[in-house]
Amino acid sequence: MLKIGVLVSGGGTNLQAIIDSVENGSIKNTEISVVISNNKNAYALERAEKKGIKNICISPKDFSDRAEFNRVFLEKLDSCQVDLVVLAGFLVVLPEEMTKKYENRIINIHPSLIPSFCGKGYYGLKVHEAALSRGVKVTGATVHFVDAGTDTGPILLQKAVEVKDGDTPEILQRRVMEEAEWKILPQAIDLIAQEKVSVENGRVRIAQ
Ligand code: GAR
């Protein structure tokens, strides 16, 4: 059984997609052990609560400095003893200590086709605003392993989504979620749970 910890900051639609996929069996052999948010008001926490999933909030606002927050956050995560950490709309940059300790055991969903529209400052709606202002015809989403950089880790899955005339960032965001994010994030977790994923020389291999 793969024990996962899902880290969230906001609405939690990707968390919901994971919960639904575990329930309907499209993610197999997996248990959501804990949901951790950095934001007390994240609706994602309610989604977890409704399903009886352990959920906690660790907010940087409750700590005198970032180092102390990072220390407590990592301590708490360690205590949950998860096999895989899933960043599902978690908008906090992870400390290097954590990315080292959990090497190849943290995945992130990003709302573009990396290496486009990623890195520092590219998150949520800003990604879609940037894509629209560049006039791209195709965008999408990426699931990747997390390393010390921002959106630089080995790519696991990607899915393309068409940009349509008249799209606003909000409309495009919704289409990318529906057509890509809510599919490839659960799919990536299932592949990892089935032990089909390996990382070699910074590249992901998926066994058939
Ligand atoms: C998602 O679109 C996710 O791809 C994005 O935040 C949103 C969270 O939505 N993540 C990033 O931009 C990370 N760089 P959700 O809380 O409804 O899942």
Does 89 contact ligand 1 (Cβ within 6 A)? yes
Ligand 1 centre distance from Cα of residue 9 (Å): 9
The residue nearest atom 11 of ligand 1, judged by CA position, is 123
* H or E element that contains 161: strand 155-162
Residue 183 confidence (pLDDT): 98
CB of 43 within 6 A of ligand 1: the answer is: no
Task: Give residue 20's pLDDT.
Answer: 98
| Ligand 1 atom closest to 151 (CA) | 14
- How far apart are the C-alpha atoms of 173 and 86, rounded to whole Å? 20
* Closest approach atom of ligand 1 to CA 8: 16
Q: Which residue has a Cα nearest atom 9 of ligand 1?
A: 89
Per CATH, which fold does 2-108+144-155+179-198 belong to?
Rossmann fold (3.40.50)
Here the tokens at position 89 are 């709309």
Question: How far away, in angstroms, is 68 Cα from ligand 1 center?
Answer: 25
- Residue 124's SS3 state is coil
Q: Give the domain ranges of the chain.
A: 2-108+144-155+179-198
| Residue 183 CB contacts under 8 Å (≥ 6 apart), including other chains | 17, 159
Q: Is the CB of 140 under 6 A from ligand 1?
A: no
Residue the block writes with tokens 């003893």: 81
173 CA: nearest ligand 1 atom = 2
pLDDT at position 194? 98
DSSP-derived pairing of the beta strands 55-57 and 30-37: parallel
Q: How many CB atoms lie under 10 A from the CB of residue 107?
A: 24
Ligand 1 atom with the shortest distance to the CA of 177: 2
Q: What is the pLDDT of residues 158-197, one digit of tens each?
A: 999 999 999 999 999 999 999 999 999 999 999 999 999 9
pLDDT at residue 27, as a whole number: 98
Task: Please identify every stretch of the chain with a pLDDT value under 50, giving residue numbers as ranges.
Answer: none
- The pLDDT, as a whole number, for residue 136 is 98
Q: Whose CA is nearest to atom 6 of ligand 1?
A: 89
Distance 22 CA to ligand 1 centre (A): 20
Least Cα distance to 133 among 105, 172, 85 occurs for 172
What DSSP element (H or E) covers 171? helix 169-176
